[in-house]
């Protein structure tokens, strides 16, 4: 089926009650961040949750009256506990694309904020061709995060003139330390990273993971083998506003990975003993806020602006709202350089970015991604500019 046209989405949007917009999200990844920000700016919220994984949204952070609040003393959103107003239950996340759920979302005048879950658990074609709900952001760019499609994130980085690690087509060509990114066997949306120092080392470590069932042959065949870049890891989390035609640095953070972080907390002798019984793994389980020195801020904006410009030229209307360029800062030949490993073309699952100072330098107080998205939607409603934000 052909992709949903922008005009079709605008026709749906024109039927909405603009005074009663709901911000929607899948119950996972960055759902709470989105709902919190939306509530703060006066929007109702809805989370589409998979049965068995709903308590975070339907119980622990579900909106309820706060009877300790004296009416009139606080802004309305402070008069309730929680940030998730409504929950739509589905058997599996992919059911968000069924006609029944879409109808519920449209009836609530929902603008949907896509996240990693949305694209991992749902079929790309279904979202691009059948999901008749306005999405905040560029609907057809999320596919480009995948490394086995044409004109993917590596192509975009190359065309934009942004440095990224050297990519090896086969293990035979490995001539230096490499990072191998291969999808896990059980959780295909998560990657099992391993480091190799040559073809023989690659085959040995890949074989061990295959024997343990951590990865499978299909995943290994699609694995990305890239140069291991040594540097300080930093995720540069951006927001591009089509309304203002401005790029903002929302914050910087770095990944927390298990069990690698546990290894790094051991003393050298403990590490050597532990390595006799287990191998380090790099499964992402969160992020921690970090900062960069001020002389690197301009370089960060330069790579961000290059990326925005290229996407507007090659994938119009280009990136909309949140995205992240994830990588490291290297120190080579007497100068520091930003190298990008991964691109997130939607909101990162990183609520801690609000605890870095960069958005505060613009707005007085640092903002979460959820707040910044809600600000943009609120401004678009005021200026009759929603068509610039949704696809």
Tokens matching residue 26? 């899948």
Give residue-wise pLDDT tens across range 307-359: 999 999 999 999 999 999 999 999 988 899 999 999 999 999 989 899 999 99
Q: For residues 101 and 131, what is the distance between their CA atoms, to the nearest angstrom?
A: 10
Question: Mean pLDDT over residues 380-390, rounded?
Answer: 98
ω into residue 181 within 30 of 0, thus cis?
no
Q: For residues 132 and 207, what is the distance between their CA atoms, to the nearest angstrom?
A: 44
Rounded to the nearest 5 degrees, what angle is found at the Cα of 101, between the Cα atoms of 98 and 102? 80
CB atoms within 10 A of CB 43: 25
Residue extent(s) of CATH 3.30.470.20 domains in the chain: 232-364
Q: What is the dihedral of CA 78, 80, 86, 92, to 10 degrees?
A: 90
Question: Mean pLDDT over residues 224-239, rounded?
Answer: 96
Confidence band, pLDDT 50/70/90 cuts, at residue 185: confident
Confidence band, pLDDT 50/70/90 cuts, at residue 72: low
Tokens matching residue 24? 């929607």
Residue 84 is given by DSSP the state B
pTM: 0.91
- For 166-227, CATH number out of 2.60.120.10, 3.40.50.2300, 3.30.1490.20, 3.30.200.100 equals 3.30.1490.20
Question: Mean pLDDT over residues 269-291, rounded?
Answer: 89
Rounded to the nearest 5 degrees, what angle is found at the Cα of 304, between the Cα atoms of 4 and 309? 55
Q: Could you tell me if 145 and 344 are in contact, meaning their C-beta atoms sit under 8 angstroms apart? A: yes
Is the pLDDT at 47 greater than 70, yes or no?
yes
pLDDT number for residue 177: 96
Confidence band, pLDDT 50/70/90 cuts, at residue 77: low
Residue extent(s) of CATH 3.30.1490.20 domains in the chain: 166-227
Is the pLDDT at 279 greater than 90, yes or no?
no
Question: Mean pLDDT over residues 35-55, rounded?
Answer: 97
Q: For residues 336 and 381, what is the distance between their CA atoms, to the nearest angstrom?
A: 42
Tokens matching residue 23? 């911000």
Is the pLDDT at 384 greater than 80, yes or no?
yes
Give residue-wise pLDDT tens across range 281-315: 877 888 999 999 999 999 999 999 999 999 999 99
- The CATH class that applies to domain 6-136 reads alpha beta
pLDDT number for residue 70: 55
**What stretches of the chain show up as alpha helix (H) in DSSP?**
6-14, 31-40, 55, 99-107, 116-121, 124-129, 153-160, 199-212, 217-221, 260-264, 268-274, 297-314, 358-363, 369-383
- The CATH class that applies to domain 232-364 reads alpha beta
Q: Could you tell me if 24 and 118 are in contact, meaning their C-beta atoms sit under 8 angstroms apart? A: no
Q: For residues 180 and 205, what is the distance between their CA atoms, to the nearest angstrom?
A: 10
Is the pLDDT at 44 greater than 90, yes or no?
yes
Confidence band, pLDDT 50/70/90 cuts, at residue 68: low
Give residue-wise pLDDT tens across range 92-141: 999 999 999 999 999 999 999 998 888 788 888 889 999 999 999 999 89
pLDDT number for residue 382: 98
pLDDT number for residue 285: 87
Task: Count each helix (H run) and each strand (E run) in the chain, helices first.
Answer: 14, 16
- Phi, psi (deg, nearest 5) at residue 333: 55, 40
Q: What is the dihedral of CA 373, 376, 378, 382, to 10 degrees?
A: -170
Tokens matching residue 289? 């806020």
Confidence band, pLDDT 50/70/90 cuts, at residue 280: confident
Is the pLDDT at 240 greater than 90, yes or no?
yes
Average pLDDT, the chain: 93
Q: Which residue has the tokens 């999405």?
A: 135
Residue extent(s) of CATH 3.40.50.20 domains in the chain: 6-136
């Amino acid at each position: 089926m052909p992709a949903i046209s922008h005009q079709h989405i605008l026709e749906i949007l024109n039927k909405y009650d603009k005074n009663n917009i709901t911000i929607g999200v899948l119950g996972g990844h960055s759902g709470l961040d989105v709902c919190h920000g939306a509530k703060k700016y006066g929007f109702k919220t809805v989370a589409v949750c998979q049965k068995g994984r709903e308590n975070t949204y339907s119980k622990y952070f579900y909106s309820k009256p706060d009877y300790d609040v004296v009416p009139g003393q606080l802004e309305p959103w402070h008069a309730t506990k929680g940030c998730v107003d409504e929950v739509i239950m589905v058997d599996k996340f992919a059911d968000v694309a069924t006609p029944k759920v879409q109808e519920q979302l449209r009836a609530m005048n929902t603008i949907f904020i896509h996240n990693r879950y949305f694209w991992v658990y749902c079929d790309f074609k279904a979202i691009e061709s059948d999901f008749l709900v306005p999405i905040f952001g560029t609907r057809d760019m999320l596919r480009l995060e995948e490394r086995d499609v044409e004109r993917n994130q590596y192509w975009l980085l190359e065309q934009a003139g942004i440095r990224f690690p050297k990519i090896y087509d086969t293990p035979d060509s490995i001539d230096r330390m490499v990072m191998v990114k291969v999808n896990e066997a059980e959780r295909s949306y998560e990657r099992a990273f391993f480091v190799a120092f040559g073809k023989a080392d690659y085959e040995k470590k890949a074989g061990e993971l295959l024997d343990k069932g951590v990865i499978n042959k299909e995943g290994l065949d699609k694995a990305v083998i890239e140069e291991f870049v040594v540097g300080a890891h930093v995720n540069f989390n951006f927001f591009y506003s089509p309304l203002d035609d401005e790029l903002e640095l929302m914050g910087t953070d770095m990944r927390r990975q298990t069990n690698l972080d546990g290894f790094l907390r051991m003393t050298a002798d403990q590490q050597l003993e532990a390595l006799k019984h287990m191998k380090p793994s790099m499964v992402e389980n969160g992020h921690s806020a970090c900062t960069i020195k001020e002389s690197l801020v301009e370089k960060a904006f330069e790579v961000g602006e290059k990326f925005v410009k290229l996407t507007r030229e090659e994938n119009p209307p280009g990136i909309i709202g949140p995205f992240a360029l994830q990588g490291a800062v290297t120190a080579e030949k007497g100068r520091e350089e930003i190298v990008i490993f991964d691109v997130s073309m939607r909101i990162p699952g990183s609520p801690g970015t609000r605890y870095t100072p960069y958005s505060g330098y613009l707005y007085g107080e640092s903002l979460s991604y959820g707040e910044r998205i809600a600000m943009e939607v609120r401004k678009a409603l005021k200026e009759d500019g929603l068509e610039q934000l949704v696809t």
